[in-house]
Chain A
Amino acid sequence: MTAAAEAIGPAPKHRRLGRILRALGMPALLAAAIALTRLVHPEFGPFEIQTLALGALPLALAAAAQAIVVISGGIDLSIGSLIAVSNVLSASLMQHASFRESLALSVLVLALGAGLGLLNGLVVAISRIPDVVATLTTGFIWGGVALLILESPGGGAPPGYLNIAAGADFGPWLPNALVVMVLAVAALWLPVRLSRIGLLIYAAGSDPVAAFRSGVNVTSARTIAYIFSGMASAIGGMALTMTTGIGSPLAGSYYTLSSVAAVVIGGVSLAGGRGGMTGPVIAALLLTLAPMDLVFLGIDPNFGQVIQGTLIVLVVMVAGLFAYLQERK
């Protein structure tokens, strides 16, 4: 992608500007949002940063999971259920485990997430049912699996394990959750982005026919995207165990819709082939910050969902408007 563009020569000035704006836009937006928050709530400090990071951690991973599938040209509406499965599985397995055993069990949960993601990918590939319908249905099935593992909220994990996300070992201003967020997303995304796999995934998403004719195995590229989505969701579910301390079979449903929101706000095109990982992760932080701000402002935090819905629609509308204006030029 980028390599090809550079080979042709320097991009026209306005497009280069657009690229810079797109790269800096989301971090700038987050900085502005935090600055605004400090304005309405001057006490905004380490504790609030910690709350923000804890709340955003599972969502950031859900957003990463969604982003990779959307980039590959699909959509995964089973992410919430996958998070729930990993959440209840980790919480029920680790309840009486030691810290070391918990770490070993984490690998197991991660492998299961990859397996369920693979199943998602295979269902989409083999059944030829469109992604939306296929993952809506598999999400329903995984929801049943989560209920099978744990019927009602419960379970737990050793304190050391919870501390991985809940602690603040790097000083009060840098909560562990933020570090885990960056490390986990980077560990999942960089190997993809920097290798051939990433190129194939982007190619499959941006133009499946052209990709197929150039010898890309579109089906396997998409299936790999679903596997990564499953792994990111599994980490998201374990993060939920770390941040809430329990497993809850219905806790995941929020993440399906919010992951789509984060991806859209984070600049990943639902048409596939475009976008990165920074945008969705920052969007996850923004989406978590919004309800907090409502509390600071003394507004019912339940408006958060309304705002989230409005934000998604507005972002897509503005993006559509820009595309329209560009076409008219």
Chain B
Amino acid sequence: MSAVLEFLRARTIFALILLLALFVLGVEGARPGTVTPLWASNVLMFAAPLAIMGAGQTLVMLTGGIDLSVASVATGSAYLLATNASSGDAAAIGLGLALGVIVGIVNGIGVALLGVQPLVMTLGAGLMTSGAMIVYGQHMMASTPRVPAIIQALGAGKLFGLMPIDLFLWVAVGALVLFGLHRTGFGRLVYAVGDNREACHLAGVRVWRVLFVDYLLCAVLAAITGLVLVGGTNAADLSLADSYLLPSVACVVIGGTSIFGGRGGYAGTIIGALILTVLTGLLTLLDVSEPIKQILYGAIILSLAAAYARLTE
């Protein structure tokens, strides 16, 4: 038993995969016959936006920060896209992504250059973004929001009926993030800054550049998440991505990235996002009311995060 624990401690990713398998077994146990290729493809489709947002959150948390503006950015980008669809698909998508760039730059300036705590900076930026969207929404009453077909295909479409299209985007983002973190100088610096900022500074690392790029990437990934989400729901409202803030942080924490920085990686976040998506599915199978689901979801996230913290200590 202790040998198994020792192994899992050294290779936590296996512990996570084991956990994921347990949850899948749980789904199958709760209602036999549920786990089919179609079910798996749906899980991947729903996990993709969370995992893309989680990629940004991972980057930021690896440096010891946190981004609480991701949900507002995702909602804002989706809303900008839907209300500007009449001026052309490319322009609408560009506007959505531009919001990510702007908020990313604001967060980056605040955290990297002015030394504001990430929590406060991103909280403030999130408030500004959602406030600006409310004001904007009231002036846009006239035109009806519409989601471009290409975004609908991205968020809800499947190739050959089984391959979710957003999976391709996820794989691309995931490959870039994994490559960037483990095979480039930037990735090494992200870990180094998270591990010991002062040492990095003394070693001549331009810490602010690393942080700036990090927050910019996180906000852009959040904006992309917003586009995938609105493609899936085909309806943009100002609370679209609200429910994604907690999961975006939770999938990173469950995935083993330390919020104090320097430890973890995107591979864990991927499994974390899958676990949370399967968990949501499992709770849907149980015949309980929405509030009970919410309570169970939170309690399970807490126990998983706590168990992980114990395992890796």
A interface residues (Cβ-Cβ under 8 A, vs B): 75, 123, 126-130, 132-134, 136-138, 140-141, 143-148, 151, 257, 260-261, 264, 270-271, 300, 302-313, 316-317, 320-321, 324
Contacts and interface: CB of A to CB of B under 8 A. Distances in A.
B286 interface: no
Given A138-B298, A308-B131, A129 B253 contact: yes
B116 interface: yes
24 contacts: A128-B313, A130-B259, A133-B249, A133-B250, A133-B305, A136-B245, A137-B246, A137-B302, A140-B294, A145-B291, A146-B291, A257-B126, A264-B120, A270-B119, A271-B117, A300-B135, A302-B134, A303-B131, A307-B131, A309-B123, A313-B110, A313-B124, A313-B125, A320-B114
Given A143-B294, A271-B117, 14 more contacts: A128-B310, A137-B246, A140-B297, A260-B120, A302-B134, A302-B135, A305-B134, A306-B127, A309-B124, A312-B127, A313-B110, A313-B121, A316-B120, A324-B115
A147 B294 contact: yes
Contact of A305 (B110, B131, B138, B292): B131
Interface centre among B124, B253, B294, B299 (most CB of A within 10 A): B124
Contacts of B117: 270-271, 316
Interface residues of B, number: 46
A137 B116 contact: no
Contacts of B7: none
Interface string B296-313: 011101100110011001
Nearest to A258: B127
Contacts of A130: 259-260
Nearest to A271: B117
**Main secondary structure on B side of the interface with A:** helix
A322 to B, nearest CB: 12
Contacts of B295: 141, 144-145, 148
Contacts of A129: 253, 302, 305-306, 309
A307 B295 CA distance: 33
A133 B246 CA distance: 8
Nearest to A256: B123
B306 A138 contact: no
B123 A137 contact: no
The 5 tightest CB contacts between A and B, nearest first, are: A305-B131, A309-B127, A144-B294, A309-B128, A127-B306
Contacts of B250: 133, 137
A126 B116 contact: no
A247 B140 CA distance: 31
Contacts of A306: 127-128, 131-132, 135
B309 to A, nearest CB: 5
A271 B259 CA distance: 16
A309 B134 CA distance: 14
Nearest to B309: A128
B82 interface: no
Given A300-B138, A317-B114, A312 B309 contact: no
A187 B280 CA distance: 43
B162 to A, nearest CB: 33
Contacts of A313: 110, 116, 120-121, 124-125, 128
B66 interface: yes
Contact of B116 (A132, A300, A308, A320): A320
B130 interface: yes
B291 A147 contact: yes
B293 interface: yes
A132 B291 contact: no
Given A128-B306, A134-B302, A313-B120, A305 B66 contact: no
A312 B124 contact: yes
Given A144-B293, A308-B131, A320 B306 contact: no
A141 B297 CA distance: 8
B297 A317 contact: no
B110 A317 contact: yes
